[in-house]
């Protein structure tokens, strides 16, 4: 049985007198115990898909299950199996951290849950804030409480929607150590993030959404293998030749260009010299998930649909059509 299953999920909205298709026949499964990354630019449909999964929104068509429980017809069982960390900082300002977690426990019929609450507080660096009022906490501390709320009923499936957005490096490290431990203990994790180095380091498989469609679905290692294995990185103040600029990933003065082999490296450097581009701090490194993501989103790379799911069964194609 899969931990999560999306089957031909479509979601449409009416906006300014026209129909907007936020999701277009999205289908894929997430296996028990998997750490799965769901990536895409803003507006791609990630949060819409998670809202449908959590029962906060209803799909126009299609079916979603959590551990075999339909999120519409068997909502209570599906919700008990799920712990969701939302993007937004939603909290009740009238309670302390510990009271907030006790109330969340009660929603799931849990009493005398303080041992687990204490463990969560310790793992998330909140032990010294247990009796503090929620409105007294910083944004990063409130984010930690949201994570604790999602985990307080020990759900087998954990959904993290941009959990480290706008938080400090210490929390990111603390959170990932704890989530990685839970994953090793058998919990399934679904992560959305704009920090692609996190997804590359943590996720077994990656799905990518673009304009409501699933455009990539494969193991992280397979996606990385499908692009240029080498990246040239250097700094320059000069404008790149148009042919190179079209391939480049530019961040301020830092330029990254793909190169498949030594001949392509030589050709790129020759083109830079010919254009009079003075470069500094030249280095070569391996392509990362951000390179793959940008190539797919920009249409420079079209990964083939995988043939086999983690459990050995057939998986969905990139367009969301069952294989």
Last residue of a domain, one of 224, 251, 277: 224
Last residue of a domain, one of 175, 208, 224: 224
Is a pLDDT exceeding 80 seen at residue 33?
yes
Cα angle value 83/87/88 (rounded, 5°):
110
57/160 same-domain check: yes
Measured distance CA(240)–CA(34) in Å, rounded: 42
Q: Could you read off the pLDDT of 267-276 as tens digits, one per residue? A: 889 999 988 8
Q: Could you read off the pLDDT of 95-117 as tens digits, one per residue? A: 999 999 999 999 898 988 889 99
Is residue 67 a part of any domain in this protein?
yes
Is a pLDDT exceeding 50 seen at residue 307?
no
pLDDT at 222: 87
- The total number of structural domains that make up the chain: 2
Measured distance CA(194)–CA(241) in Å, rounded: 29
217/265 same-domain check: no
73/174 same-domain check: yes
- In this structure, are residues 138 and 118 in contact, taking their beta carbons and an 8 Å threshold? no
Measured distance CA(39)–CA(57) in Å, rounded: 20
186/209 same-domain check: yes
Boundaries of domain holding 236:
228-286
- For residue 4 the two structure tokens come to 């999560």
pTM of the model: 0.80
Quote the mean pLDDT of the chain: 86
- In this structure, are residues 205 and 40 in contact, taking their beta carbons and an 8 Å threshold? no
- In this structure, are residues 166 and 139 in contact, taking their beta carbons and an 8 Å threshold? yes
Last residue of a domain, one of 171, 194, 224: 224
Measured distance CA(309)–CA(219) in Å, rounded: 9
Between 319 and 266, the more confident residue is 266
Is residue 30 a part of any domain in this protein?
yes
177/262 same-domain check: no
- For residue 35 the two structure tokens come to 């750490």
Measured distance CA(91)–CA(137) in Å, rounded: 11
Q: Could you read off the pLDDT of 132-175 as tens digits, one per residue? A: 988 888 888 888 899 999 999 999 999 999 887 767 787 788 88
CATH number at residue 163: 3.40.50.300
Nearest CA among 267, 239, 256 for reference residue 295: 256
- For residue 165 the two structure tokens come to 């957005």
Is a pLDDT exceeding 60 seen at residue 64?
yes
């Amino acid at each position: 049985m899969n931990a999560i299953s999306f089957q031909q999920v479509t979601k449409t909205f009416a906006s300014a007198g026209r129909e907007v298709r936020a999701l277009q026949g999205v289908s894929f499964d997430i296996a028990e115990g998997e750490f799965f990354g769901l990536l895409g630019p803003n507006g791609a449909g990630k949060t819409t898909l998670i809202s449908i999964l959590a029962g906060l929104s209803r799909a126009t068509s299609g079916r979603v299950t959590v551990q075999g429980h339909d999120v519409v017809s068997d909502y209570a069982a599906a919700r008990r199996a799920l712990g969701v960390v939302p993007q937004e900082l939603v909290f009740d300002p009238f309670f302390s951290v510990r009271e907030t977690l006790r109330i969340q426990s009660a929603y799931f019929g849990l009493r005398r849950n303080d041992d687990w609450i204490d463990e969560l507080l310790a793992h998330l660096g909140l032990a010294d804030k247990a009796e503090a009022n929620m409105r007294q906490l910083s944004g990063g501390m409130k984010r930690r409480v949201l994570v604790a709320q999602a985990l307080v009923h020990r759900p087998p499936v954990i959904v993290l929607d941009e959990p480290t957005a706008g938080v400090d490096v210490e929390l990111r490290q603390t959170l990932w150590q704890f989530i990685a431990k839970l994953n090793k203990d058998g919990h399934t994790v679904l992560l959305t993030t704009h920090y692609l180095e996190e997804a590359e380091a943590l996720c077994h498989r990656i799905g990518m959404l673009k304009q409501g469609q699933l455009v990539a679905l494969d193991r992280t290692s397979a996606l990385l293998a499908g692009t240029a294995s080498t990246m040239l990185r250097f700094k320059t103040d000069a404008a790149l030749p148009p042919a190179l600029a079209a391939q480049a990933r530019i961040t301020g003065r830092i330029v990254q260009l793909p190169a498949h082999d030594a001949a392509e490296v030589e050709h790129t450097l020759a083109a830079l010299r010919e254009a009079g581009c003075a470069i500094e701090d030249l280095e070569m490194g391996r392509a990362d998930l951000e390179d793959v993501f940008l190539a797919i989103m920009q249409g420079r790379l079209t990964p083939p649909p995988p043939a086999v799911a983690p459990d050995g069964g057939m998986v969905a194609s990139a367009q969301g059509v069952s294989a």
